Amino acid sequence: MTPSIHYTLTAARPAAHIFTVTCTIQRPAAEGQRFALPAWIPGSYMVREFARNIVTIKAHCKGKPVLLTKLDKHTWQAAACSGPLMLEYEIYAWDLSVRSAHLDQTHGFFNGSSVFLQVLGQENQPHHITLQRPAHATDWRIATALRTTPGTKRYAFGDYIADSYDELIDHPVEMGRFTLAHFSAHGVPHDVVITGMHDCDTARLCADLKRICETQIAFFEPRAKKAPMDRYVFLVTAIGEGYGGLEHRASTALICSRNDLPYTGMDGTPSAYRNFLGLCSHEYFHSWNVKRIKPATFLPYDLTRENYTRLLWLFEGFTAYYDDLFLLRSGCITPQAYLDLLSKTINGVLRGSGRKKQSVADSSFDAWIKFYRADENAPNTLVSYYTKGALIALALDLTLRIETHGKHSLDTVMRALWNRHGKKNIGLEEDGFAALVRDVTGVSIQRFLNAYVEGTQDPPLEQLLTHAGIHWQAKKSDALSLGVKTGIEHGLVKLTQVLDDGAAQRAGLSAGDVLVALDGLKATPDVLAQLLARKRVGDKVEVLAYRRDELLRFIVTLRRDVAPSIKLEFVL
């Protein structure tokens, strides 16, 4: 049977970073078929305007050209025709990230939202794609969680199928030469695909990932130990410097430094590898939390515009809480290593004054215009729904354990979300979380949510952790601080961020200023460090700085670094 929607994708011009795509629509709409390229990709809450990467587009029907009319920035309408309608277009792919598409002579990667036009009104039809091998790449393979048709072998170029457009774009594709390793987690096959130069000990990586994945599967399904997918793929791109991930229903796209990966003979779990395992754990937990347990506003996604929710603190923040926790529960890190990670999160949140101005609920809603578009003033005005959301999860977990005398915890709540919402494809309403928690634990958390989620108060972590037998040690720094974050420009110190009420802001310095001299000495990073080490609170420093092309003079009165440093340890 001829598929209703069929795409053929070719890495036609790798040196120019061009994919060519043909989309054949067997039964176009009688009044003229409309189609669009998504404006954003689920999981990354910013309008990215993928249609800007369409280089050329044309249409024809039965060998004759068909007029295309562009209706808005990412939508077209073809003139009426009886079908089949064929669209031919080119996609520029030069974004080496987990969100879009990338193509050169060494490999190709794409998310469907960047390359496959959405045939409006026919999204629930079966969607087939044919991936054609580039002429220059006889040794390339395909890695994806998409299902193959009977005539195509796994990892081969050929034909793949999805039951809907939503499913189609939820399976990123890697093509090229890559390292391929495998493991099984509670009977489900998992692939680990690594693109790029590396010396990864894949046996070590697979062993650690197996422990993490099996622990998470058993967490949500303690009896059946059944994963929500029948196959899973970790798509890893290893580069010199990079870090990030994006969740999908049966796979994740990851980017990391090649030095983050384990190597043969490596002792223990160094911080770089620990962070990479945390990233893998985070994206895998999303297989339940946000890919299947979703805000009601995401059912279905509207890919043409922002989809607003005030719940990202739950879907991202709770995931950020559990990612490192599952490193501990799976035995990949020690209890003290876990507390060190938790201390780092706490310190990161407490150092940002933006948490006093923006709630995590507001941060969630405004992710489209603020969190994903953070500027030099972000620490002063924004709070991360990831990191503060993780601390809210910690506080709620400990609160539920105390209130129910250990009978219930946040684990109880997450399993209820899975059983009541995720399994049944029922979205969580914006005001539905408190009722669910009360129903399954008997604890009312509305005041908790009002204070820490809708409000800007800090959760009482010291009190809660102390009750749990964790020693909270707050150290005040003796170090002096300008109250800035810095970078380097032509060997000089450049202010990248100026923190509220810090010494630099009080003196009038601004983000973007390039320091030229400190008390008459060239303003190198070493000179700045030595000056701060030798001066005392209240000392004044003459600072010469360029703002744009103008030289300005400032007198900075040095202050102590007021940000606390929290260290967590088990009470012996």
DSSP per residue, 17-59:
TEEEEEEEESS--TT--EEE--SSBTTB-S---GGGGEEEEEE
Amino acid at site 544? L
Nearest to 290 by CA among 268, 272, 311: 311
Superfamily of domain 480-564: PDZ domain (2.30.42.10)
Residues sharing a CB contact under 8 Å with residue 509, sequence separation 6 or more, in sequence order: 482, 484, 495, 498, 543, 545, 554, 556
Q: What pLDDT does residue 184 have?
A: 99
How do residues 452-472 score in pLDDT, each as one tens digit? Answer: 999 999 999 999 999 999 999
Residue 83 has pLDDT above 90, yes or no: no
Task: Look at residue 46 in the predicted model and tell me its pLDDT.
Answer: 98
pLDDT score recorded for residue 514: 98
Is the pTM value of this prediction over 0.95? yes
End-to-end CA distance of the chain: 69
Pairing of the two strands 85-92 and 18-25: antiparallel
Query: Which of helix, strand or coil describes residue 380?
Result: helix
Q: What is the mean pLDDT of the chain?
A: 97
Q: How confident is the model at residue 3 (pLDDT cuts 50, 70, 90)?
A: low
Q: Token digits for 521?
A: 């000495």
pLDDT of the residue at 561: 85
Give me the mean pLDDT over the 213-220 stretch: 99
Which pLDDT band, with edges at 50, 70 and 90, does 498 fall under?
very high
Task: Report, at the CATH architecture level, how domain 5-176 is classified.
Answer: Sandwich (2.60)
User: What architecture does CATH give domain 288-468?
Assistant: Orthogonal Bundle (1.10)
Domain 178-270 -> CATH class? alpha beta
Q: pLDDT band for position 564 (50/70/90)?
A: confident
Averaged over 70-79, what is the pLDDT?
A: 98
Which residue type, as a one-letter code, is found at position 339? L
pLDDT of amino acid 562? 80
Mean pLDDT of 395-403: 99
Percentage of the chain beyond pLDDT 90 is 97
Domain regions of the chain by residue span: 5-176, 178-270, 288-468, 480-564
The yes-or-no verdict on residue 167 having pLDDT over 60 is yes
**Angle between helical axes of 202-220 and 318-329 (0-180°, round to 10):** 120
Q: Which amino acid is located at 336 in the chain?
A: Q
